[in-house]
Structure 1
Amino acid sequence: MSKKTKGNNSDPNVEVDPISGTETTGHDWDGLKELDTPAPRWWLTVWMITIVFAIGYWVVYPAWPSISGHTKGLFGWTQYTELKAEQKEITDRQGAYLARFHGESFDQVRADPAVYEFARAGGAVVFKENCAACHGNGGEGRKGYPNLNDDDWLFGGKVDTIYHTIQVGSRSTDPDTHATQMPKFGAILKPDEIQDVATYVLQLSHGTPANPSASWVRGQAVFAANCVSCHGEGGVGNRDMGAPRLNDAIWLYGGRRADVVETITNARAGVMPTWKHRLSDDNQRMVALYVHSLGGGE
């Protein structure tokens, strides 16, 4: 390849690529030569703009490390001041909703969509932090811990009743706690009588059998003599006494025969703590509204 000059360049040592007409850098790798192609003007312009922007950013915002920490910048902006401003905005909005929440009854809150959603959201957080360990994240419950999504309530499912239960608990240390107690019938009834009444109770959710067995007939008599005063005729339950319904196939401790026999024999004594002194009144009211909204509230 002969050496040529390009344009006004009179240097005889400058080689120009004959195909592209561009000068080469003089580097040669096994016959491959590097073209000395200049960067596009638009790219150089953008590059210079970014340099100017970077210098401006260093001046305006905190960027350079110093002995005391870093430069403050002309605007005095930091992530911490921005966070405080955002937190203040959230706190102010919460305060506005809380002020309305304070002044409204449960019925008024439920009729006020904005405040109701605010209360439900707050109640969901309180529930997950304090109640989910026993009742499950969605209030589905588990053996020994009530399902809060159904219509089976020992003491009533209205929102103010739920609020009262949250306050006093069940068999808790609060002087006004729900204090229900089922006796241990293992010390009162004979084993065969316990088996008979279990037969009767397990049948309650299915109605009276067309051809009742002898065990069912005996169990009905045992139930009438020992259980009906609390659980009511036909096992309808008694909320004033906290006696559960037995005719809805909803079982707190399991609905197998062995579970029912165990309950009759040794009774059950689950405990729910009082939350009166653990949660603020606002949080108690919010979680009451949240639980009521799960689907089983009355």
Structure 2
Amino acid sequence: MADHAHHGEIDKVTGTATTGHEWDGIQELNTPLPRWWIWTFYATIIWSIGYFIVYPAWPLMNGYTRGLFGYSSRAELDVDLAKLNQVRGEKMQALATASLEEIEKNPALLALARAKGKVVFGDNCAPCHGSGAAGGKGFPNLNDDDWLWGGSLEQIEKTIKYGARSGNDEGHMGNMLAFGKDGTLTKDQIVQVANFVRSLSGQSTRPGVDLAAGKQIFAENCVACHGEDAKGNPELGAPNLTDKIWLYGGDEATIIETITNGRGGVMPAWIGRLDPTTIKAMAVYVHSLGGGK
């Protein structure tokens, strides 16, 4: 390929001057952009400079340029929310002062709490628990009656407020220990106790595995949290192992992984992020989904 200079030549087909650029016999025509397009382009540059001056635009090390207008979409939202609360007025005040039980007994307050709770849930909780609160692997289903930390109104409110393993001093604590990782149990023992755990909920077990040995291992290592009847302990966040509801999965491989490496999912604390009335509404909403105790 070659680039030869033919500047000033006139293209025979179009009658347009060329730029002098040629590649393999193909010449570039000298056809400038229309003047109106050029001036529009310059106008957008001037407009952008004006925008940078009057509106927030450039990020800084510890903030951003505020602009002459001092505009803030967050400030606008705060104003809109304040107006909305003014319109709601007495209803929101009643929701704020009523107890959780009083809200559920009052049809009007219950409807208000559920409506508000549903919107807040969609904005804050749905990314983990799903838009229908059905959860997923590692994220509890809030529609059933299986609750790691308790399903009463007060317990749900506490979980929303302070979270679990969230770093908040009031939050739920307690992890599933890593019995394999820390060397407490051997691989064979983990297989035995995993199969025993599966048998607790009527699931099939691996042929040839000593379930009696698994039961003994369970008694020595697991009853402290899950209880002698294996029905769990909401104080510790220890799940019921006799039902067929599994947070991470109830197949043998997943249970072995859980026993070997432990579990410690985090539920964030919402106190400080959401106001008390909003948290109250969300607790009522979650409790009313069908699985609240």
| Residue among 237, 242, 245 paired with 2:237 | 242
The alignment's C-alpha RMSD in Å is 2.1
What is the Cα deviation at residue 204 of structure 1? 0.5
The alpha-carbon distance between structure 1 residues 265 and 90, as it changes in their structure 2 partners (threshold 3 A), is closer
In structure 2, C-alpha distance between the alignment counterparts of 1:91 and 1:189, rounded to whole Å: 57
Q: Which residue of 2 aligns with 1:101?
A: 95
| Residue among 250, 255, 258 paired with 2:250 | 255
Does structure 1 residue 160 correspond to structure 2 residue 154?
A: yes
What is the Cα deviation at residue 192 of structure 1? 0.5
Aligned residue runs from structure 1 range 217-232, under 5 A: 217-232=212-227
Q: Which residue of 1 aligns with 2:199?
A: 203
Structure 1 residues 258-267 or 178-187, which shifts more?
178-187
Does structure 1 residue 127 correspond to structure 2 residue 121?
A: yes
Structure 1 residues 241-250 or 212-221, which shifts more?
212-221
| Residue among 266, 272, 275 paired with 1:271 | 266
Q: Which residue of 2 aligns with 1:184?
A: 178
Q: Which residue of 2 aligns with 1:174?
A: 168
Larger of the two Rg values belongs to structure: 1
* Contact 1:193–1:219 under 8 Å retained in 2: yes
Amino acid across the alignment from 2:151: G
Query: What SS is found at the alignment partner of 2:198?
Result: helix
What is the number of residues matched between the two proteins? 210
Calculate the TM-score normalised by the size of structure 2: 0.68
In structure 2, C-alpha distance between the alignment counterparts of 1:88 and 1:143, rounded to whole Å: 38
Q: Which residue of 2 aligns with 1:292?
A: 287
In structure 2, C-alpha distance between the alignment counterparts of 1:254 and 1:113, rounded to whole Å: 38
In structure 1, C-alpha distance between the alignment counterparts of 2:256 and 2:272, rounded to whole Å: 37
Structure 2, unpaired ranges of 5+ = 1-80
What is the Cα deviation at residue 103 of structure 1? 2.0
Query: What SS is found at the alignment partner of 2:240?
Result: coil
What is the Cα deviation at residue 234 of structure 1? 2.8
In structure 2, C-alpha distance between the alignment counterparts of 1:91 and 1:230, rounded to whole Å: 45
Aligned residue runs from structure 1 range 40-51, under 5 A: none
* Contact 1:134–1:141 under 8 Å retained in 2: yes
What is the Cα deviation at residue 95 of structure 1? 1.2
In structure 2, C-alpha distance between the alignment counterparts of 1:270 and 1:228, rounded to whole Å: 21
| Residue among 174, 190, 215 paired with 2:210 | 215
What is the Cα deviation at residue 236 of structure 1? 0.9
Calculate the TM-score normalised by the size of structure 1: 0.67
Q: Which residue of 2 aligns with 1:45?
A: none
Runs of 4+ in structure 1 off by over 3 angstroms are 87-93
Structure 1 residues 176-185 or 220-229, which shifts more?
176-185
Query: What SS is found at the alignment partner of 2:89?
Result: helix
Query: What SS is found at the alignment partner of 1:147?
Result: coil
In structure 1, C-alpha distance between the alignment counterparts of 2:179 and 2:245, rounded to whole Å: 21
Query: What SS is found at the alignment partner of 2:211?
Result: helix
Q: Which deviations, in whole Å up to 9, do the C-alpha atoms of 1:137-193 show, x marking residues without a partner?
A: 011000000000111111110111100111110001211111112221102101010
